[in-house]
């Protein structure tokens, strides 16, 4: 039996597709799906559909791909008699005319414990900051950036080994689960929201490629967090002479050496000095080559003890 709620959905990446899949499997009526326009992706720069569009097409659901939202979008929502709009990692701001159209408003599935990490990159920023916990917030959307009242939160721990990918993969199902719970309460008129606290507000700015360059004067612990946060994108990088190296994994260890100095480059150990402590690298990739473990990388004889990383 289908839910009586008519739900419009807006989302683009895998995180959003996991949430949409939960709506489909829950037999919710989803008459309109909005996702970002198809764009070039990968080395071949081939035009690629978003994960949300691919899932929608699989289930033969109606997809819209506007470059911006406005009155035309609101007209679509009215046409399909939308009760509520669910937004998850969509990538476009909803203007007031869209926010006010669904009968029950718009819900956002946000990957942080609001008001901490409002904005575009909450998963990466939480790892970068060294947070111990994060989670999911189901929020009633309003004109401000992630400022609306909260219906439900779902907390998880951030592991010392978590990358942005692994944390994403644990948060997305929690987002789907939390949303389904809130929708059930909405349908029977028992959903209650509370305003966000004014304390502890932080902003998760979009990740820029340039910030992934390693500054070896920072501490080993901070750099190790950067490696995890920028994995799988944009991937932390450094320079060895004129060659650009991507660094996927590393572990902070005790010791002292000048920033960027290669303390050890043998016996499957690649250890680099930082501003505070040492960083033992475990996964690396040079331009035009595959990602590899440090032992395989060192066998190529490119790096020796006493070399320097960075510019």
Task: Please write down the HEC assignment for all residues of 188-212.
Answer: CCCCCCECCCCCCCCEECCCCHHHH
Q: Quick check: is 66 in a domain?
A: yes
Which residues have CB under 8 Å from 90's CB, separation 6+? 10, 11, 12, 16, 34, 35, 36
Residues 178 and 277 in one domain: no
- Report the run of H or E that residue 286 belongs to, with start and end: strand 278-286
Render pLDDT for 281-308 as a digit per residue (tens, 0 to 9). 999 999 888 999 999 989 877 799 999 9
Could you tell me the CATH number of the domain that includes residue 214?
A: 3.10.25.10
Do 132 and 255 lie in one domain? The reply is no
Determine the number of helices (DSSP H) and then strands (DSSP E) in the chain: 8, 17
Q: 125 in a domain, yes or no? A: yes
Mean pLDDT score, 1-15: 87
Does residue 198 sit in the same domain as residue 226? no
Structural domain includes residue 67: yes
Please compute the mean of the pLDDT values over residues 167-182 and round it to a whole number.
98
Question: Does a structural domain hold residue 309?
Answer: no
Task: Provide the domain limits for residue 180.
Answer: 6-204
Angle between helices 51-58 and 14-25 (to 10 degrees): 30
Q: Can you give the CATH number for the domain in which 80 is found?
A: 3.40.50.170
State which of 167, 189, 204 marks the end of a domain.
204
H/E segment holding residue 223? helix 220-229
Residues 198 and 243 in one domain: no
The reply to whether 184 and 134 lie within a common domain is: yes
Q: What is the chain's mean pLDDT, rounded?
A: 95
Residue 225, CB-side half-sphere exposure with 13 Å CA sphere: 16
| 80 and 177 co-located in one domain | yes
pLDDT band for 3, please (50, 70, 90 cuts): low
Same domain, 196 and 215: no
**What does the alpha-carbon distance between residue 87 and residue 75 come to, in Å, rounded to a whole number?**
17
In a domain, 173, yes or no: yes
Backbone angles phi, psi at 180, to 5 degrees: -60, -40
Largest CA distance in the chain: 68
Q: Is residue 304 part of a domain?
A: no
Is the pLDDT confidence value at 215 over 60?
A: yes
**Does residue 178 share a domain with residue 279?**
no
- Whether residue 79 lies inside any domain: the answer is yes
153, 184, 204: which is the final residue of a domain? Answer: 204
Q: What is the band of 268 on the pLDDT scale with cuts at 50, 70, 90?
A: confident
In this structure, are residues 305 and 264 in contact, taking their beta carbons and an 8 Å threshold? yes
Q: Does 166 lie in the same domain as 36?
A: yes
Q: Is the pLDDT of residue 141 over 50?
A: yes
Q: pTM of the entire structure?
A: 0.94
The number of distinct structural domains making up the chain is: 2
Any residues with CB less than 8 A from the CB of 172 and at least 6 apart, and which? Answer: 14, 15, 18, 19, 111
- Among 183, 192, 193, 189, which Cα is nearest to 5's? 183
| 164 HSE (CA, 13 A, CB side) | 24
Tens-digit pLDDT profile for residues 32-61: 999 999 998 777 788 999 999 999 999 999
pLDDT computed for residue 263 by the predictor: 97
Residue 162 forms part of a structural domain: yes
- 56/35 Cα distance (integer angstroms): 10
Whether residue 268 sits in one domain with residue 180: no
Same domain, 242 and 196: no
78 and 153 together in one domain = yes
| CA neighbor of 238 nearest in space, from 273, 276, 202, 194 | 273
pLDDT above 90 (res 131): yes
Phi, psi of 210 (to 5 degrees): -65, -30
Residues of the chain above pLDDT 90, percent: 90
Q: Which positions ≥6 away from 112 have C-beta within 8 Å? A: 118, 122, 123, 126, 134, 135, 136, 137, 204
Q: Which of 204, 229, 257 is the last residue of a domain?
A: 204
């Amino acid at each position: 039996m289908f839910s009586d709620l008519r739900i419009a959905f807006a989302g683009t990446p895998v995180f959003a597709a996991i949430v949409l899949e939960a709506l489909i499997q829950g037999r919710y009526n989803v008459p309109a799906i909005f996702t970002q326009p198809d764009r070039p992706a990968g080395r071949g720069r081939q035009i690629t559909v978003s994960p949300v569009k691919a899932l929608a097409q699989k289930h033969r659901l109606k997809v819209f791909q506007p470059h911006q939202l406005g009155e035309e979008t609101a007209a679509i929502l009215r046409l399909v008699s939308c009760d509520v709009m669910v937004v998850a990692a969509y990538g476009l701001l909803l203007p007031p005319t869209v926010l006010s159209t669904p009968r029950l408003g718009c819900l956002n599935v946000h990957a942080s414990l609001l008001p901490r990490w409002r904005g575009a990159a909450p998963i990466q920023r939480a790892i970068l900051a060294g947070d111990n916990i994060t989670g999911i917030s189901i929020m009633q959307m309003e004109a401000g950036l992630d400022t609306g009242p909260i219906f439900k939160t779902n907390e998880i721990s951030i592991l010392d080994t978590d990358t942005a990918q692994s944390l994403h993969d644990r948060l997305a199902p929690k987002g789907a689960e939390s949303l389904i719970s809130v929708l059930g309460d909405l349908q029977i008129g028992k959903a209650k929201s509370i305003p966000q606290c004014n304390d502890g507000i932080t902003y998760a700015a979009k990740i820029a490629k340039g910030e992934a360059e390693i500054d070896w004067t920072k501490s080993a612990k901070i750099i190790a967090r950067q490696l995890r946060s920028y994995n799988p994108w944009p991937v932390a990088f450094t320079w060895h002479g004129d060659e650009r190296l991507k660094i996927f994994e590393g572990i902070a260890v005790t010791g002292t050496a000048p920033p960027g100095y290669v303390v050890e480059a043998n016996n499957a150990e690649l250890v680099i000095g930082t501003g505070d402590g040492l960083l033992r690298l475990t996964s690396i990739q040079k331009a035009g080559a595959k990602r590899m473990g440090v032992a395989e990388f060192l066998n190529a004889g490119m790096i020796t003890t006493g070399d320097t990383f960075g510019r």
